[in-house]
Structure 1
Amino acid sequence: MSPVLGCVADDYTGGTDVAAALRRSGLRTVLIFGAPGPATVLPDTDAVVVALKTRSIPAGEAVAASLAVRQWLHGQGVRRLYFKYCSTFDSTDEGNIGPVADALTQASGAPLTVVCPAAPEHGRTVYQGHLFVGDRLLSESPMRHHPLTPMTDPDLVRVLGRQTPHRVALVAHRTVRSGAEAVRAALDTLRAQDVRYAVTDALDDGDLDVIARATADLPVITGAAGLAGAAGALASAGREPGGPAVPALPQGPGVVLAGSCSAATLEQVALARRRMPSYRLRPEQDGLVEEALGWLEDRLAAEDRVMVYSSAPPEERSPGSAELLEQALAAVAARAAQLGARRIVVAGGETSGAVVNALGVTGAVVGAEADRGVPWLLTTGHPSLALLLKSGNFGRPDLLVTALEAS
């Protein structure tokens, strides 16, 4: 039986987040890192998530990679596609959300789709087309200072309108609260007006359920993990939960690797520094990787958990150093695995992508969540290795510490 839903995620932590939401909704879920190759074999599953690293690359490359995944999923019998991006709509005026959504909707023949980054459980809501982080507009949140995708405009209709030549309009909250039929009627009206993208207000999980029901017949929908979970619950209704039991986490040393500079990660790193030996990567230092690896080898021989991080507040960041630091953390991850680390916790989407690639991980079984939207991944290529890939903005303050203490 073919999967009922296929998902293309624009970064690795986003892939883990949406995979956790789909598994939680009752769908057996497989997570694949990177573009599947001709030899990729998909096991019996209800949903498949392909996590790419396309959020910040040139738009043309992001489009090509996403279309290739769509074609592969179509070959697996998947007829419904979910394009997953961050709940803070991380993008620039050039993309990549708009260009990828354009390509995926055009390839499916869909005249219209919805845009729903709301994730109420993480404090991301949309009202009158404006994205809120907690009680703050997106433009007043720490995302305003993101080093790669600074978000200075909270109006999603306006933001997406700068990324696509197609019309963008709003389905307001009063319509969503009127129910699925009202939303469906609103989408029909917008479709008749040649609107391609309908930004949907959503303040709570009930709103997401309404949107999921109203869009059940659309071949492509887009959003964060919140709408994906609602769509998954709709698809799993009446199904018997299946799949093998979640394997236990491997025992052994653990390593935290933090590259995100989000406010949430900075708080988590500050707490972890008080609880475990820590080493900060500084891009200006000579022998950056060699020094870090030397420190790791000495400490991991004596300690069962350590942290290497490059996370820093805005005033301490070095312009243009992001890729250098990502590769340094990736090298540390690879060496940690060689030294016997069995749990690797990574904070930051770009950092997670670099780490997964350095470890050669191509797929994973989605395990229990260490925090909402942050599941453990038991890697298929390394059966004794567990990864926790955390979006920069996710997780309670002590997550980096408690993850390594989990049984």
Structure 2
Amino acid sequence: MESSSRIRTLADLWNHKQPPLTVPQNAIVSPRVHRPSIISTFVTNYSRAWALFLNKPWPRLAELSLAVIISLIIGWVFYDLPRNRRSGIDDREGFLTTMLCLAPTLMAILGQERIFELRSMIEHDRRAGVHSPGAHLIATVLFDLPFAIFASLALGAPAYFLVKLNPYLVESLAALIAFLAPFAVNFLLYRYTGWLFALLADSKLVAAAGTGIIAIINLLLSGFVVHEVDQWHAFGGINLQFWSPTRWIGRDLMDLVWKTGKASSVFNFVLGITNESIAGIKSGFPLPSLVVDCERKPVVATKLRVPVLTVKKCLKTTGTQVMAFFDPNDSVVDLGWIVVASWIATLLIVLWGVAAFCRPKTRVARGVDALRLKRA
């Protein structure tokens, strides 16, 4: 009885001195317990991409420098394209083929190295349940987009100034924008196609080979190598060139070069915004087409001291004639940009699906690498 009374007394004293209970406050919940929202996931991945770039900016800066070097080499090869001989037609088409098919393919293969570096980080986040791969990829694409646009400008602008595709448009800002804008869209298509193979393939060689095969198919369907009439039609009537984005982008650039932008939808759109007047052409007058003349060779007659310029068996070729041979169908030009937009949307959806559901082999992070991933 005495011990029970003592225990009861101690309990009463404890209840009397017990501090009041505190109301629990809202606190940050661990990502392992509570799944973060889409906005917080995007901000986290986007901030981490900036942190990685600031700690190691050299790969992206080297990419820009390499794009300028490649552009200068292409501009040196096609420097100041002639208009006084028939080879000027083939040279201009060769320049556009190089800029739309070959140069973006090389840059896309070089850009795959960055995706192979990020794959281990994406897999680490997936296993830890911190962020979904799809959200990680969206943040990475949005972070990469400004750098990709700058790389496309660095690849296209120097070569454009060196080559002088159309003398009427050399000093035109609208023509420069009308050339670089479609070129940047084509560059982005090749770049993120390379990302797709980098996410799917287990080795860099397989990813580069897959990107190269797609580039070759796109080259054959671009209209620069094989004419639409000679192109193989699948299932007896499907025109495969109609579904090639490079074909429509190249068509717009061909209109800019040969018709001085009269049929280029991008050039007319930019010209309507800037209200720019083309040098050497009076306001209100139609833009003249580019004309490829014949080569005039000086021949010194026996009885004349002054050389005489002579031309043999040659006719002038207008830009309208060149475009009529390249693509005689002008009624479906506006549908081309719908095809390009559909390819961009399809590529982004496939990229998200591959990042979310595909599980390529990744190197297991151990030791120092695992510690770096944990701190990241």
- TM-score normalised to the size of structure 1? 0.18
- TM-score normalised to the size of structure 2? 0.19
The structure that is strand-richer by fraction is 1
The structure that is helix-richer by fraction is 2
* Structure with bigger gyration radius: 2
